[in-house]
Amino acid sequence: VPIDASEILILACPQCQFMTLKVASLDGHLKEHNCRIHVKLNKCKQCGMITNSDKVIEEHLQIWHPSKDVKENIAIVFDETYNQDKPASEPKAVTNAGGGGDAQKSGKSSIAGLPQINLLQLMYMAHGPVEINLPGSYQLDRTKDGVHACISFMPSFLNRTVGENFMESLKQDLSWKQLTLTTKDGKERQEPRLTCYVGPDFEYCGNKFENCNDWNPKLKDLKEIVEKAVGREFNAVICYMYRNGRDSLGWHCEKEKPLGEHPYIAAVSLGQARYLEFSRKGREDRYVRLRSAHGDLVVTEGAIEDLYIHRIPKDPMARRTSYTFSFRYINPVKKAEEAPKAAGASGDSA
């Protein structure tokens, strides 16, 4: 099929974890499987983007062309069964990932049951953003000593009703504040969002949080739900309120000493959907984004904070309020030690 890589959203093998932006690469890969595999390419009639995932093309239309009817704006440009002389394919069992350091070394997420998707090859091939639409644990990169940088995406982790109950309670009961930051030129300015911190004493982006360990019952309930899902314990949360599309969070990474060598952070989104973007340090062409909507859970672990910076950009289309509850574990710090400022803490000044 004469399709340029610039037209592709994502192409994924239905039988394994192979992903690519090139039709020829997918074609060659599918012929190597020892079973029949049915493949069709869906094309958006509005902008021409193509994927072999029904869910991705539907979400693409809902996000980028919300006024258009989904079914009427999908065209099938390729429909074929590979390896006709071989037995039909059978779904492969998803291997549950282990936790801790072994998971980071193997490249697997510590969240059991999520499909493991290796984007290492795709990240080196891609020119422009790679968009994550489907649930899974994505390995973006790895360090020289083999620690993987991983993002796990769990859409609709909370159903709409449960999410709305948490949102309505927490937006009223938490002590939201507009913090200040110091820019690179030494000037102070207000952050373009509201923040609430709960947990041990901590310094973040130049702001000291002390005596903030009084957990709201509803917030504690949310923490326990997330802990049960990911199999980790948390003792702190940074809550963000983005009042509209003008609020944002600049490029930064979570490298404060109390978070440990490889921070494990689980973030629940409520309210208005917003983009979360990751950029490879020193390589702007290595760029990943996902749209975190109401009830979605995003987990970052391994070397993600070593190799990537992330942000929530301004969004002129976002008219409603968005909330992010970012759970993490903070190690005790001796009073004599001073926690460093976050890398990229001045990103909001951009």
* Structure confidence by residue, pLDDT tens digits, 56-102: 888 888 888 888 888 899 998 888 887 777 665 443 332 222 334 44
**pLDDT above 90 as % of the chain:** 40
Q: Are residues 189 and 261 in the same domain?
A: yes
156/164 Cα distance (integer angstroms): 12
CATH of the domain at 299: 2.60.120.590
Using the predicted structure, report yes or no on whether residue 308 has a pLDDT greater than 60: yes
On whether residue 108 sits in a domain, the answer given is: no
Pair 199, 68 in one domain: no
Q: Are residues 147 and 192 in the same domain?
A: yes
Number of domains in the chain: 2
Question: What residues contact residue 170 under an 8 Å CB cut-off, 6+ apart?
Answer: 216, 218, 219, 222, 239, 270, 323, 325
Q: Are residues 265 and 182 in the same domain?
A: yes
Mean pLDDT of 7-16: 74
Out of 23, 58, 82, a domain closes at 82
Instruction: Based on the fold, state whether residues 291 and 170 are members of the same structural domain.
Output: yes
| Cα–Cα distance, 152 to 108 (Å, whole number) | 10
- Kindly state whether residues 136 and 226 are assigned to the same domain: yes
Question: Which is more confidently placed, 349 or 252?
Answer: 252
Q: Are residues 72 and 121 in the same domain?
A: no
22 found inside a domain: yes
Q: Residue 111 domain-assigned? A: no
Asked if 66 and 182 sit in the same domain, the reply is no
Q: Does a structural domain hold residue 340?
A: no
**Which structural domain range is residue 166 located in?**
116-328
**Cα(171)–Cα(321) distance, integer angstroms:** 10
How would residue 171 be classed by pLDDT, with cut points 50, 70 and 90? Answer: very high
Same-domain status, 166 and 262: yes
Q: Which carries the bigger pLDDT value, residue 122 or residue 158?
A: 158
Structural domain includes residue 346 = no
If asked whether residues 172 and 44 sit together in one domain, one would say no
On whether residue 140 sits in a domain, the answer given is yes
Q: Are residues 123 and 26 in the same domain?
A: no
pLDDT at 203: 82
Q: Within this chain, do residues 28 and 139 fall inside the same structural domain, yes or no?
A: no
- Give the pairing of strands 308-312 and 249-252: antiparallel
Is residue 106 a part of any domain in this protein? no
310 domain-assigned: yes
